[in-house]
Chains A and B, each alone.
Chain A
Amino acid sequence: MSDYRVLPGPEHFLPPAAASMGIRLPNPGEAHINGVITSEENAYEEAARQFLMAKVPTIFPGPLVLWAWNEKAAKKATAIRHLFNTLKECVQPGQKPMLIPMPDYRPKYPKINPEVEINPNHPNLTIWHNKIDCCIFVGVHCHQANLSLKIIRGGTSCYTIAMCAQAGHEDAMLSIRDTSVEKIMRLADTIKRLKGTVQPRQASA
């Protein structure tokens, strides 16, 4: 097993792909935290703790859920809205949960508005601008998620969580695989359960 750990950065300009450092993806029913395979239950707890500790916990929904291209996508969008509403109810004063969309993957130049969107080709603009210290990717196609997660790990200290509809993301600090509506709701329930048991971090990102 690899000694490499997928930790919050800034790692350096070109962080290695976690896969190239020997980090493997979880099997069905498993998840990973910092590159170490663990149970899904542990991952939900840790994700909820990280969200409740963060000063600016942020959900980044991607095109797979922002666009209602099928019924399942629309249902996932509703679950994500529920997750965000739960988060807002559970945080303490001073914490600022955000819901920022990643509508598509065009490398939008000359600029994006980091207050209203995130672009996978320069995600750090949105992370830095909003001082985001914990984020979750959901509904982002795998190749763009990996690109973005690596850039964030390279240039920020943001804790990244990836809820993937496929096999998970080794480049996130925590990843849950086979994401469904039920799994998103389960994360919301875990956040609700842990409300008040976790103290928010003092320092900002």
Chain B
Amino acid sequence: MSKERIQISEALYDIMPSDYQDLVKSATYGKEDRGWKDIGTSKELIEQHSLCAGCPESMAFRYILASLPNPEDTVMVGSTGCTSLVFPMVAVHNIHSLFGNQNAIASGLKRALSVRFPGRVKDVVVLAGDGATVDIGLDMTLQAWFRQEKFTTICFDNELYANTGGQESGLMQKGFVAKMAPVGKLFDKVRLPEIARESGCHYVVNCTVSKPSLVEKVIRNAVHIAREIGPTYLQLYTPCILEIGKNSMEGLQEMRDSEKPTERFAYKEYISEPAKQLLTELAAKDKERKAAAKQLAAQAQAN
């Protein structure tokens, strides 16, 4: 549904629950400069959710939904895990896929959308946990990248199967002992960002969600590059505070500790040459647009 169609029938407006009225009145659908700074001053595209108190995943969700460049024409594809508890409360079209096949679903969806709406920008964003992306769904993840499917894959990496009690996942760090993995992991964390680069992704980032401005930047880059050039991959650390024995207030610090230069979530970014060129063009256009807006504002003030 495009933005123009998100209107409530006048005759029944008064009976609509206030969250829907707010979505129409003050959500940032269609706003060109939408971003994390809109949080608190406009209606967010996420209602109350059932994640644990202090869960970094909920922060990540809020930043991502605030940063999507085109939410009214975006379809998100989720998979089994903690994220699937949140999607019912998200005001962006979304599909819950079977465990692991999210990238296969997104491939078909993206192709179908380009046939059905040839003149319109329709973004597809996969958002799944590390189990769905790296273990159960690795086949579908890699094949989508090999085929150069034009959508973004976001992995919420909490380094284990949090939703089912803490089993070992491919992205768990070596030696880590979890409730359902008492021996400790025997192998290294799968290096999916490197694999993504070698598999044809044009933009790959490995980081935490401790900085909203950074999340906004990488989400916008990833979606724009996927739209024009090819697959993009973001691996975002969203620690499960329950499974690593932390308190509700300690999620943010855990992320800060894990993004230090020598740590496993130190910021890493790969941009292919065509993607670099696109980002430069976009930055130039953005600069031009801002300068024009500034000039208009100055003129208005002078008049």
Contact = CB atoms under 8 A, between A and B. Distances in A.
Interface string A67-93: 111000110111011000000000000
A103 B89 contact: no
B10 A109 contact: no
Given A109-B85, A110-B50, A116 B9 contact: no
A137 to B, nearest CB: 14
Interface residues of A, number: 25
Contacts of B11: 74, 77-78, 80-81
A145 to B, nearest CB: 18
A42 interface: no
Interface residues of B, number: 19
B71 to A, nearest CB: 16
B5 A80 contact: no
A141 to B, nearest CB: 14
B17 interface: yes
B17 A116 contact: yes
Contact of B9 (A68, A99, A108, A117): A68
Contacts of A106: 88-89
Given A101-B12, A110-B50, A117 B7 contact: no
Given A77-B11, A81-B11, A66 B50 contact: no
Contacts of B88: 106-109
A110 B89 CA distance: 9
B17 A66 contact: no
24 contacts: A65-B12, A66-B12, A67-B5, A67-B6, A67-B7, A68-B7, A69-B1, A69-B7, A73-B9, A76-B9, A78-B9, A80-B11, A80-B12, A81-B11, A81-B12, A99-B15, A103-B17, A106-B88, A107-B88, A108-B89, A109-B50, A109-B85, A113-B17, A116-B17
Interface of B: 1, 5-12, 15-17, 20, 47-48, 50, 85, 88-89
Interface of A: 61, 65-69, 73-74, 76-78, 80-81, 99-101, 103, 106-110, 113, 116-117
